Amino acid sequence: MRGYFITFEGPDGSGKSTQIKLIKEYFEKKGFDLIITREPGGTRISEKIRDIILDNDHTEMDYIAEALLYAAARAQHVSQLIKPALEEGKVVICDRFVDSSFVYQGEGRGLGKCVKEINDIAIRGCMPDVTFLFKIDPEIGNMRIKNKNRLDMEKIDYHRIVYNAYLKLEKEYPDRIKGIDAGRSIDEIHEEIKEYLEKLLK
């Protein structure tokens, strides 16, 4: 038995969290056993790693150290929470997952292929069934954020590189990554996601 693993990706401020809340209600109404989680984070240890990564004071953080910390948080998250839940047949909805590392560390920080290698170790074959990619101009997304963390404060050029990397991933994995025009109303976006999920659940 295996549940469904669904991830949400996209620039900060793209409206992922609002849609995750609505999708939670959708699955609950259908009687699914559901877990909502996030990265970096999701477990006690991974949340501690999150605090280290996002601390506005940690301006000297080395890019490799940063990539390894994301992967370490993910390894704990996959083994402690995601994998067991999927094995029990649950639906796991995760705000960001390994695609974030591919685009933010691999492309944004220019670390390239080694990001895939370290994350292959971390995720142990656990890949999402579907990934909703929220597409919005990163500048607009950034303006919507209230409390900015260390990464939100990066220059807009960084966020543009990241966004273009997302668009590249969408082309590379069309079967898994579903692009969502995040510039529309909350209801319109929710309807589109729901329609897609109906097909998936069949």
Q: Applying CB under 6 A, which residues contact ligand TMP?
A: 12, 38-40, 70, 96, 100-101, 104-105, 149, 151-152
Nearer to ligand TMP, 38 or 90 (CB): 38
d(CA 81, CA 77): 5
Q: Are 111 and 162 in contact (CB under 8 A)?
A: no
**Smallest distance from ligand TMP to CB 89, Å:** 25
Nearer to ligand TMP, 50 or 190 (CB): 50
Nearer to ligand TMP, 24 or 32 (CB): 24
Q: Are 21 and 151 in contact (CB under 8 A)?
A: no
**Smallest distance from ligand TMP to CB 136, Å:** 14
**Smallest distance from ligand TMP to CB 165, Å:** 11
**Smallest distance from ligand TMP to CB 101, Å:** 4
Tokens of 129: 């069934």
Nearer to ligand TMP, 18 or 198 (CB): 18
d(CA 74, CA 125): 12
Q: What DSSP character marks residue 190? A: H
3-state SS class at 193: helix
